[in-house]
């Protein structure tokens, strides 16, 4: 493990607003593995793990499936290992374009919800 301060699953859950159950599930499916385990077997996470988890959390409101999240993380990991990989860079650009489309759709839905609430308040 690096020199980063390790945190246990409860602290990571509190810092990210996700449940311990969700973090355990992400570990089970390989989406977010702890960086280490304590002598007692407790999951230990670093600030890098927290950043990865926040990336996952930010995908949730846009409706990404766990499989799609895993694909994005694989692309990010691949580019970290080989920044010159043009195929991965192109895939990341596609994912970014899709995220922009999903964000715009979410914005339209939010605008419609605001209009609905305004109509209700006007009654």
* Per-residue pLDDT tens over the stretch 73-107: 999 999 999 999 999 999 999 999 999 999 999 99
DSSP 35: S
* Per-residue pLDDT tens over the stretch 103-123: 999 999 999 999 999 999 998
CATH of 1-60, one of 1.10.287.110, 1.10.1660.10, 3.10.20.30, 3.90.550.50: 1.10.1660.10
Whether the predicted model's global pTM rises above the 0.85 cut: no
Closest CA to 34 of 58, 14, 10: 10
Closest CA to 95 of 117, 65, 50: 65
Closest CA to 75 of 64, 103, 107: 64
Picking from 3-7, 21-25, 71-75, 84-88, which range would have the lowest pLDDT averaged per residue? 3-7
Ranges of each domain in the chain: 1-60, 63-123
Q: How many residues does the chain have?
A: 123
Q: CA 79: distance to chain centroid?
A: 17
């Amino acid at each position: 493990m690096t020199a980063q301060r390790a945190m246990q699953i409860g602290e990571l859950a509190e810092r990210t607003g996700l449940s311990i159950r969700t973090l355990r599930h992400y570990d089970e499916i390989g989406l977010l593995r702890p960086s280490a385990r304590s002598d007692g077997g407790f999951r230990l996470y670093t600030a890098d793990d927290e950043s990865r988890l926040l990336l996952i959390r930010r995908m949730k409101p846009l409706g990404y499936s766990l499989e799609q999240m895993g694909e994005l993380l694989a692309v990010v990991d691949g580019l970290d290992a080989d920044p010159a990989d043009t195929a991965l860079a192109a895939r990341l650009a596609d994912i970014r374009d899709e995220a922009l489309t999903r964000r715009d759709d979410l914005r339209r839905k939010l605008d419609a919800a605001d209009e609905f609430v305004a109509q209700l308040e006007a009654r």
